[in-house]
Structure 1
Amino acid sequence: MSGFMKRVRFSSINALYSPVPSTPYVFTTSTSTSSSKSSHSEDSKDSKRRRHVSKLTTHSRNKPFTISAPITRIHYLLAFSPYQLPPLPYDLSTNPSIVKSFISADLLFEPATDPPVSSLIITCPHLHWEFSITPMAASARKGGSHVSVLDVLYALYRGLRLAVHPLEYEALPSPEAIANVNEAYYSRCHSIGEANGRQEELAKGIKRIDFLMGRNRFLGLSKKSSRRDDNRLVWELNAS
């Protein structure tokens, strides 16, 4: 790169229950209590007890309940494990078609999650963009309307290939970050062996993939605890 000047380009409701109050009983010191009065008193006590039980039973029947959403698991090819090598060796800057050379099509078209979902969102701590994942036409022909493993890879690749706006570049937090993005841009372009292809890629300018600052190795997805308003799951991209 010594022969030219480096120049970057841009082309629920909670139910509350009150405690049941105890029934006050009046005691008398009179010794002239008839058996009929005693019987009436016992009947009255039993009636009050029954009313209390009925009150509790009614509250119990009306108690709201919710059904927990099923646990969603990620496909092992996409799963992030901090203590193991990723099962899918993939460079996020390359076309996902390359993985077809060492991963069977049947596996790649399997659902990305269990149970399968029709869409999901991926975020990354190194980027301020998010990626919405939906089934591709090819995937739909193979497995229906669910998001597949290959859908995830292609959506990330397409999203990271988008050009960066100059204002996004200027918003980088520090001169060091700018230098790292520039280095990632030139390194990515000059990794292309063919001269014309290399020049074409340089002319396309900085892309979102360069904002990873060289962390292009796919390590997998980890589930975030939040769901969006549309109930879509949010997953986090891990890269190094």
Structure 2
Amino acid sequence: MSAPYVYTPQVAYRNSPYLSPFYGQQNSPFIPELSLNNSPFIQPNSLPPSPNPQNPVQGPTYPQFVPFPPSADESQYSQGPPWPRERRVSWNEGPARPPTQNTPWLRPRPQRQRTRSDNGYNFQPPADPNWSNPNPSPYNPFPQYPTAPPQFFLHPFLNGESPRADFVFDLSAPQFAPLRYVGSNQTLPITPEELAQVATHPPLYRLKIICDLIPNWPIEINYNQYAGGNTYSPVPPPLTLGDILSAIWGFLQMSITQTSWASLTPQQEHMVGVAYTKRCRAMPSAELALRNKGVKKVDFLLGKKWFKGLVPIGDNLETLRLHVI
């Protein structure tokens, strides 16, 4: 008895001025002549372990809400949670303060600014006696205190320092299909609204992604105002979750050149060939079509196809490292 058919809807996310370089196939398919018998260059037990695609993730059901700003064009003040009922003032303490949440994603609620009832225009805030203004100005008598740089945050689905167990993204799949694990071996596709969420805080407008398995092939994401024959705004929008995920997947789905294959050692050729064959055999109904498309860059990951997030490299926030298992 055959297994039941499972429909996986394809999430189309290509209409972005950041993604034009990753969907234009520049190389013809390269199909190597493989002989996957015993190799004199590699022992069978030294192959990379299987990622166990039948059960890639396990974990409890997670909420469907991701606490992340939907877009950079959001109104100035977001609609926050309702305020609790104000408590009456007691004789020994002041009014109760509403609870606050310490998170960079929530903007403060608008408040009226009280005007001073006295002549306070000559007021100067107290200055730190141990600090001197590096750029004094006769037009600004108030001291300018140095501000700390904003803390950098990645979208929860991109954070490689604490990867989400409910996020499933197969980089070797023939279709772009990031999924959410909802329990009982069931998954749901990531919605277009989630893919449109801003990827970082503060926002980024260019990005370079490096994978240690393919260090010579960095993934560079830049804004192209005239991508795909269209004319976009000269002001680039912030990178979104869909931009980054789609760029990584589209880059790894590109075919390699004969020059890239010729640069491999015999041992590397065998390992890449094994990964290529396993990727094609993983979909029996489309195995022949996948073989005809040849070796792809994802095969150089040697079977490590599950996305496990990005981590910053040093202090350069525009360069991230890709983690795969």
TM-score (norm 1): 0.61
* 2:172 alignment counterpart: 93
User: One-letter code of the match for 2:249?
Assistant: Y
> Whole-Å Cα distance in 1 between the matches of residues 211 and 134 of structure 2?
45
User: One-letter code of the match for 1:176?
Assistant: Q
Following superposition, the deviation at residue 113 of structure 1 comes to 0.5
Following superposition, the deviation at residue 67 of structure 1 comes to 6.9
1:96–1:135 CA distance, 2 compared to 1 (3 A): farther
**Is contact 2:160–2:310 with CA below 8 Å preserved after alignment?**
yes
List alignment gaps of at least 5 residues for structure 1: 1-5, 9-57
User: One-letter code of the match for 1:119?
Assistant: R
> Whole-Å Cα distance in 1 between the matches of residues 284 and 210 of structure 2?
31
> Whole-Å Cα distance in 1 between the matches of residues 155 and 133 of structure 2?
44
List alignment gaps of at least 5 residues for structure 2: 1-31, 35-131, 137-144, 181-187
Question: Is 1:121 matched with 2:208?
Answer: yes
* 1:234 alignment counterpart: 319
> Whole-Å Cα distance in 1 between the matches of residues 133 and 200 of structure 2?
40
Following superposition, the deviation at residue 175 of structure 1 comes to 2.8
**Is contact 2:157–2:164 with CA below 8 Å preserved after alignment?**
no
**Is contact 2:167–2:178 with CA below 8 Å preserved after alignment?**
no
Q: CA RMSD in A?
A: 3.3
> Whole-Å Cα distance in 2 between the matches of residues 145 and 60 of structure 1?
35
Question: Is 1:210 matched with 2:299?
Answer: yes
Q: 1:130 aligns with which of 196, 218, 222?
A: 218
Question: Is 1:186 matched with 2:277?
Answer: yes
Q: Deviations over 1:152-175 (max 9, x none)?
A: 111011100111112212222x43
* 2:258 alignment counterpart: 166
Q: 1:7 aligns with which of 21, 33, 42?
A: 33
Following superposition, the deviation at residue 122 of structure 1 comes to 0.7
Q: 1:151 aligns with which of 243, 252, 255?
A: 243
> Whole-Å Cα distance in 1 between the matches of residues 238 and 134 of structure 2?
40
Q: Give the % identical residues.
A: 23
* 1:23 alignment counterpart: none
TM-score (norm 2): 0.46
Max Rg structure: 1
User: One-letter code of the match for 1:7?
Assistant: E
> Whole-Å Cα distance in 2 between the matches of residues 112 and 193 of structure 1?
35
Following superposition, the deviation at residue 69 of structure 1 comes to 4.7
> Whole-Å Cα distance in 1 between the matches of residues 272 and 284 of structure 2?
21
> Whole-Å Cα distance in 2 between the matches of residues 205 and 103 of structure 1?
29
